[in-house]
C-alpha cells in the first residue's frame, strides 16, 4: 500500500497540472457531430421549462453533476467546499474525488466532508475500483460512504491512468467479481465511472450484470489522464508513449450510445469533455439521464462560489435555451426528441 504523503502530493499535482498544462485529448467528444433542428414555433413558455429530475432516491432541480475531482489536501478541501455550496444552491449532484487518502490518513476525512455545505443534494463517494485488488473491500467502501453521508458510491475504472502513473496500480485482474461483491453488500447504490476513456457495450454489459446501479461514461474528448500523468512523470518512454496515445478512448457521444445499446433504463451519466449546456442537451437527447462536468468547473472552483454559480447558471441557461429552441418543456421531452440529427 502507498503511504499517504504520496497520495496527498499526487492530488496537489493533479489539480496544478489540470490548471496549467495542455491535457485535453486529441479525440473530440463526438457531440459536435450532432445538431438540433430548430423549431420556429416551439409552443412552450420559456419560463416554465423544467430541468427537474430524480437521482437515485432524491429529486434534484437539474440533471447536472459535478464530476469527481478532489479531496485529501487543504487546497482540495477549499475546492470541494466551494463546489458543494454551489451544488446546493443550484440543485446539482455533487461527486467527490477519490477518498483513498481519507482511508490512509483519518485526519484527511474533513477535506471530503461537505455535507454541511450541501445538506440536501445527492453526494457521491468515490474510490478507485483497482483498490479492491489492493487490500480494500466492502468495509472500506462502507467507511467512506459513512464518512461523508453519501447517497451513492462510485468506483472509478482508470486503467490507462494507472499504467502511465509512475506509482500506478495496474492489477485489474478479476475486478468484476469484487465489484459485484461490493454492489451486493453496499447499503447505498454503487455505480462505476471511467476517467476520460469511455465505455463500450461489452464492458457496460458485464458491469450491469455485476449489479451496478449507474454508469458514468466519462468518455474521451476532454481531460486525458494519460496526459496528466505524463506531466508528473520524467520518464522519456512515458512521454513518447503518451504521444502515441493522444487519440485513445471512446468518445463521450459513442459511449452514451454504447451503454444505451445494452440497457434502456440504467441510470446513465454522460460526461467527458462537456463544457456547455448545448453539449449537455445533446448528451441527454442521445440517452444520458445526467450530465457531468469535470475540469471545465475546476478554474471557477479554485476562485469563488460566485464563479462556480456563474458557470452553472450559464450551463442551465444554455440547456434551457436548447429546449426552448426545439419545443421541449421538460427532460422527458428532451430525451425523446426527434430533433437531434447527425450532421452529414
Ligand atoms: C483535478 C481532477 C481530479 C480528478 N480526480 C478524480 C478522482 O479522484 N476520481 C475520479 O473518479 N475521477 C477523477 N477525475 C476525473 C473526472 O471525474 C472526469 O471523469 C474526467 O476528468 C473527464 O471529465 P472532464 O473532461 O469533464 O474533465 C478528476 C478530474 C480532475 C480534473
Q: What is the pLDDT of residues 182-194, one digit of tens each?
A: 999 999 999 999 9
Q: How far apart are CA 202 and CA 170, in angstroms?
A: 21
Quote the percentage of the chain above a pLDDT of 70: 99
**Statement: residue 1 has pLDDT above 50:** no
- pLDDT band for 5, please (50, 70, 90 cuts): confident
Which CATH superfamily, name and number, covers 4-342?
Aldolase class I (3.20.20.70)
Question: Which run of H or E residues covers position 236?
Answer: helix 236-244
CB-CB contact of 265 with 215 (8 Å) = no
Is 108 touching ligand 1 by the criterion CB < 6 Å? no
Bridge partners (DSSP) listed for residue 190: 153
What residues contact 234, with CB distance under 8 A and at least 6 apart? Answer: none
pLDDT of residue 234: 86
Say how many Å lie between the CA of residue 156 and the centre of ligand 1. 10
CB-CB contact of 90 with 309 (8 Å) = yes
- Cα 256–267–169 angle (5° rounding)? 70
C-alpha distances (whole Å) from 124 to each of 129, 154, 157, 202, 303 are 15, 7, 15, 25, 23
pLDDT of residue 3: 62
Say how many Å lie between the CA of residue 285 and the centre of ligand 1. 23
Say how many Å lie between the CA of residue 38 and the centre of ligand 1. 33
Question: Minimal CA–CA distance to 309: which of 114, 84, 118, 112?
Answer: 84
C-alpha distances (whole Å) from 155 to each of 195, 200, 207, 294 are 11, 17, 11, 16
Bridge partners (DSSP) listed for residue 123: 94
Nearest CA to ligand 1 atom 30: 69
Ligand 1: which of 295, 298, 299 to mutate, most ligand atoms within 8 Å of CB? 295
CB-CB contact of 249 with 158 (8 Å) = no
C-alpha distances (whole Å) from 28 to each of 21, 127, 343 are 18, 27, 15
Nearest CA to ligand 1 atom 7: 97
Nearest CA to ligand 1 atom 31: 295
- pLDDT band for 341, please (50, 70, 90 cuts): very high
Phi and psi, residue 191, nearest 5°: -120, 175
pLDDT, average across residues 6-10: 85
Bridge partners (DSSP) listed for residue 214: 191, 267
Nearest CA to ligand 1 atom 14: 69
Question: Minimal CA–CA distance to 85: which of 73, 97, 94, 98?
Answer: 94
Phi and psi, residue 329, nearest 5°: -90, -15
Say how many Å lie between the CA of residue 312 and the centre of ligand 1. 18
Is 101 touching ligand 1 by the criterion CB < 6 Å? no
Is 271 touching ligand 1 by the criterion CB < 6 Å? yes
Nearest CA to ligand 1 atom 4: 69
Q: How far apart are CA 58 and CA 290, in angstroms?
A: 13
Amino acid at each position: 500500500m502507498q503511504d499517504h504523503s504520496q497520495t496527498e502530493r499526487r492530488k496537489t499535482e493533479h489539480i496544478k497540472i489540470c490548471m496549467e498544462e495542455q491535457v485535453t485529448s486529441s479525440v473530440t467528444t463526438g457531440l459536435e457531430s450532432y445538431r438540433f433542428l430548430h423549431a420556429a414555433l416551439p409552443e412552450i413558455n420559456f419560463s416554465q421549462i423544467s430541468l427537474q429530475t430524480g437521482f437515485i432516491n432524491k429529486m434534484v432541480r437539474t440533471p447536472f453533476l459535478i464530476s469527481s475531482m478532489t479531496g485529501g489536501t487543504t487546497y482540495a478541501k477549499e475546492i470541494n467546499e466551494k463546489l458543494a455550496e454551489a451544488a446546493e444552491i443550484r440543485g446539482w449532484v455533487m461527486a467527490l474525488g477519490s477518498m483513498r487518502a481519507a482511508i490512509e490518513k483519518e485526519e484527511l476525512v474533513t477535506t471530503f466532508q461537505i455535507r454541511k455545505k450541501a445538506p440536501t443534494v445527492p453526494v457521491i463517494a468515490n474510490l478507485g475500483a483497482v483498490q479492491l485488488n489492493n487490500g480494500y473491500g466492502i468495509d472500506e467502501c462502507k467507511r467512506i460512504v459513512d464518512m461523508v453521508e453519501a447517497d451513492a458510491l462510485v468506483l472509478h475504472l482508470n486503467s490507462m491512468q494507472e499504467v502511465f502513473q509512475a506509482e500506478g496500480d495496474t492489477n485489474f485482474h478479476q475486478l468484476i467479481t469484487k465489484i459485484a461483491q461490493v454492489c451486493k453488500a453496499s447499503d447505498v447504490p454503487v455505480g462505476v465511472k471511467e476517467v476520460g476513456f469511455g465505455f463500450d457495450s461489452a464492458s457496460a454489459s458485464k458491469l450491469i450484470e455485476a449489479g451496478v446501479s449507474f454508469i458514468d461514461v466519462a468518455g474521451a474528448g476532454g481531460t486525458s489522464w494519460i496526459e496528466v500523468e505524463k506531466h508528473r512523470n520524467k520518464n522519456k518512454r512515458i512521454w513518447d508513449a503518451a504521444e502515441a496515445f493522444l487519440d485513445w478512448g471512446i468518445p463521450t457521444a459513442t459511449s452514451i450510445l454504447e451503454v444505451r445499446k445494452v440497457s434502456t433504463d440504467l441510470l446513465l451519466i454522460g460526461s467527458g469533455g462537456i463544457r456547455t449546456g448545448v453539449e449537455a442537451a445533446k448528451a441527454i437527447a442521445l440517452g444520458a439521464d445526467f450530465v457531468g462536468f469535470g475540469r471545465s468547473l475546476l478554474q471557477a472552483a479554485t476562485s469563488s462560489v460566485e464563479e462556480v454559480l456563474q458557470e452553472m447558471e450559464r450551463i442551465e441557461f444554455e440547456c434551457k435555451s436548447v429546449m426552448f429552441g426545439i419545443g421541449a418543456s421538460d427532460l422527458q421531452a428532451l430525451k425523446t426528441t426527434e430533433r437531434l440529427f447527425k450532421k452529414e
